[in-house]
Chains A and B, each alone.
Chain A
Amino acid sequence: MSAGSVQAAAGTTPDVTGVTGVARAPWRSPLAVVGVTIIAGWLVLAAVAPWVAPSDPLAQDAAILQAPSGAHWFGTDELGRDVLSRVLHGARISLPLAFVLVAASTLIGSVVGAVAGFFGRWVDSVAMRLADLVFAFPGIILALAIAAALGPQLRNAVIAVVIVSWPGYARLVRSLVLAARTSQYVVSSRLLGASGLRTLFVDVRPNIAGPVLVMSALDIGNAVLLLSGLSFLGLGAQPPTPEWGAMVAAGSQNFDRWWVGLFPGLAILTVVLAFNFVGDTLRDVLDPRTARALRE
């Protein structure tokens, strides 16, 4: 029953059944399984890093720039720190931040988009012009200017990425709310005397959750890339923090010692790829356009 019902749910306007479809269908896709496994693996590694890492990520107690060997599987960096330990500890920075970034952008964007779409008029114009403004900049140029202006710090880089990312959610949520606003259930709710905010939160919210979830899942990868890019440019995490982007930057200083930059970059790639595997599958399940194409 499920394959048909999932697609039927995805084919109509996304609703609560669409959300249950998300929970079930992705397990049929090998890509999503691989993605979830990789993410779970990284989460476990992040949790146990202090115990499994061969040495302290900040300890400079080995010879510098040693090639990978039995003692140092990923070699050592320009200060004689164990690259493997730093990559493992890097997961404790990049993964939580990835979730924080996307949660913050989703929250801000959804609230702005919902309010703009539901109340319309000048609120709508102001919010959407603001979103247009952010969209007028290619992402990293604005993030770069913000991060540089606030000062090179991991916290400021996070703020910069959130400022660059929220408008995407605002636009999506606004269009969904606009579509829902004239629907029967919203009109009925208002006729029963529910306030605008109550209708928005109780009746509209569950009905737009699916697409927003997909967008968040697809966006996590981009957020990780943008944040590590800022760190790579020296505008995010500062030394000696074992952040993956900053570690690749150290690798570019010693480009002939490939292991310094290769492994942290691989870590970023696997995390982003895993999130994109999951997000892509979720979209296939939920996006009516792709779902229709698949049904053919």
Chain B
Amino acid sequence: MSASTTTRPARPATGRTGRSRPHYGTHLFLTVMAVMWMVPLGWALFTALRPKADTDKYGYFSLGGAFNFDNFATAWTQGGFPRYFMNSLIITIPTIILVLLCSSMMAFAVSRVSWKFNVTLLIMFTAGNLLPPQVLATPLFEMFKLIQLPYWFSDSGSLLNTYLSVIIANTAFQIGFCTFVLSNYMKALSADLTEAALVDGAGIWRQYVSIIMPLCRPAIAALATLELIFIYNDYFWPLLFIQSGDRLPVTTAINNLQGTFLSNYNLLAAGATITVIPTLVVYLVLQRHFVAGLTLGSSKG
């Protein structure tokens, strides 16, 4: 006891010196790692900025020749990027809205109203999100193939090869995660909030819309950002369901660029870099929300 009392006055000082200690070894290690971490993307960008003629002349591993954005322009038009980005948008935006709508309703019901099957349902939702998607891919594919749709809606006559199929699969798969996160968030809100509203005669729907949802804004923002990245990055469901190349979202379509651009690595690199740009923009603008979303999911375990 006495020892700790005597060291106490010294503690702030040691703390401060500890903080300003240079950490040379740590910096060296981190710098080496950071450089290694940037190499793959850096190489793609470097290749993308150089004209094919120059890399053919000087080699890919050289500094000779011009640096410009021509490859980006060529990849953009030849690769059909406007189309793919539009497809990504058509799939991503409705999915995010559906996921957040469904999961917030579900989370509200299981966290704010006590009911016998609350935990059972929550477990079912959480477990569903943890399954590898390949486990349910085959039956889902066959189900979508068997669903008959009018030809004005789908030229395949079924759900296959429609944006809707990808939207449904993504929504079903992501609801579980968002429900889990939102229900934890809603459980932490005071019970008095809705009790008071109840006494004022507010129905369930009004409690959900005007009391709980506004309070969940930070969690919703974090999840929306996270889902934006998840769904933009989803490669699997479009690969499975969409056969027409011109309906693929960017992430799935880039694989086809390898065929389109043959062995023109400069164009391929430019194409890859183009698909990184939206994520980087989201990263720069919404980084806080994205990290918050990732850690929200793991804060309770």
Do A and B belong to a common assembly? no
Contact surface of B with A, Cβ cutoff 8 Å: none
